[in-house]
């Protein structure tokens, strides 16, 4: 990966100007997170193919870096405001929440170009399916709108026929009331029967037409619901870790934002745990990465089964997981994780005939209103490291 990237940045072409090379060097500084010192700039200059050492002033470098950082900050703010605007304008489009959550999670680390690039790739990958589904949904809605005038016309026609029949019925009743012979009564009854038969036929035909229209409308409604579910699933993938099927960082951000808002609005408890698999490197080294990945999937599945339905299990990266637990005090959350640890020791995981014993160390902390995810994760991380120092396979409240 590193070699291919170097080969791209070291082939700028013979016609590159010094100014263009300087911009590339500055971009390299920002992407690698290095401070804009003369020494770092010289390294970046060489990284983009510069042969002679540049001699820009420290002040000039700092000014350029500051301008770049301000621009990046403004773009981040624009993206956040755009996400807010979309949520306010289209609150019913729940499938958008996946993409918005992924963008916000990537923006939390403004210097992480790779996180932004990853969410860009995910959204671009989902775009063709969203475009196709959106078009089909619009076509289904258009067909529904075209169906409504026909239904209204059928009902109106039936109403008109009913009104005509009502008038004729009154006439027949008046005629029968004035009839002076059996023949006149029989004629009136025959006319009344014929009109009633015609009315019955009209009602039956209208009923069939309305039933067909209702069936078509239900089919269209069902298709729209199916398309919306498919679109929601497409966007939900942006919130899910592809290996463990737990929530990813974006999914965790979204769940945390919901829980944090509720914590401010309603007096309740909210706890979070940071879990780290013990001696995970030994599993990878002894059995290979496939066994390590399988062990992580096993742990994620067990966590989802053992925690409550309202809890969120998220992969935090590598062999770390986060569990968000609404309505639990820190001590209660700790007890829940201890039960998970016991269950984990009972369910010995087998991979290719090898028994893999999985344990984890965890730190638990209770979240206070208005705290950020980064704040509470740092506190939980401190508890997790205390668990490691205490001998592993334990839970510490911090």
* Whole-angstrom distance, CA of residue 338 vs CA of residue 352: 28
Instruction: Give the gyration radius of the chain's Cα atoms.
Output: 34
Residues 11 and 49 sit within 8 Å (Cβ to Cβ)? yes
Whole-angstrom CA distances from 57 to 16, 20, 31, 60, 262 are: 22, 17, 21, 5, 51
Q: Kindly tell me the sign of the dihedral angle through the C-alpha atoms of 251, 255, 260, 265.
A: positive
Contacts of 311 (CB under 8 A, 6+ apart): 323, 324, 325, 326
* Whole-angstrom distance, CA of residue 27 vs CA of residue 13: 17
Please list, residue by residue across 250-264, b when 16 or more beta carbons sit within 10 angstroms of its beta carbon and e when fewer do: bbbbbbbeebbeebe
Active site amino acids? 319
């Amino acid at each position: 990966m590193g070699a291919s990237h170097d080969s791209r940045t070291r082939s700028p072409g013979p016609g590159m100007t010094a100014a263009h090379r300087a911009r590339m060097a500055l971009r390299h500084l920002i992407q690698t997170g290095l401070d804009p010192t003369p020494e770092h700039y010289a390294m970046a200059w060489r990284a983009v193919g510069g042969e002679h050492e540049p001699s820009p002033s420290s002040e000039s470098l700092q000014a350029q870096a500051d301008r770049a950082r301000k621009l990046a900050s403004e773009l981040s703010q624009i993206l956040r405001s755009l996400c807010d605007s979309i949520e306010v304008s289209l609150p019913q489009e729940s499938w958008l929440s996946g993409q918005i959550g992924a963008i916000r999670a990537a923006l939390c680390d403004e210097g992480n170009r790779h996180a932004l690039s990853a969410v860009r790739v995910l959204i671009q990958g989902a775009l063709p399916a969203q475009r196709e589904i959106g078009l089909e949904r619009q076509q289904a809605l258009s067909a529904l709108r075209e169906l409504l005038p026909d239904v209204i016309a059928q009902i109106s026609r039936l109403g008109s026929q009913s009104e005509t029949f009502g008038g004729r019925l009154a006439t027949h009743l008046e005629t029968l009331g004035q009839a002076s012979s059996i023949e006149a009564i029989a004629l009136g009854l025959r006319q009344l029967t014929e009109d009633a038969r015609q009315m019955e036929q009209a009602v039956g035909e209208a009923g069939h037409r309305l039933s067909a229209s209702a069936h078509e409308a239900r089919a269209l409604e069902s298709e729209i619901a199916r398309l919306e579910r498919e679109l929601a699933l497409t966007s939900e993938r942006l919130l899910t870790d592809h290996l463990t099927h737990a929530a990813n960082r974006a999914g965790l951000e979204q769940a945390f934002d919901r829980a944090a808002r509720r914590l401010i609005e309603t007096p309740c408890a909210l706890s979070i745990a940071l879990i780290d698999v013990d001696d995970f490197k030994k599993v990878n080294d002894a059995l290979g990465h496939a066994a390590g990945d399988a062990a992580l999937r096993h742990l994620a599945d067990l966590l989802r089964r053992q925690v409550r339905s309202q809890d969120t299990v998220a992969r935090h990266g590598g062999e770390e997981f986060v569990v968000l637990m609404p309505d639990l005090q820190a001590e209660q959350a700790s007890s829940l994780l201890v039960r998970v640890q016991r269950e984990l020791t009972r369910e010995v995981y087998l991979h290719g005939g090898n028994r893999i014993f999985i344990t984890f160390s965890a730190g638990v902390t209770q979240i206070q209103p208005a705290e950020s995810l980064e704040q509470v994760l740092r506190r939980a991380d401190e508890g997790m490291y205390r668990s490691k120092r205490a001998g592993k396979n334990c839970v510490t409240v911090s």
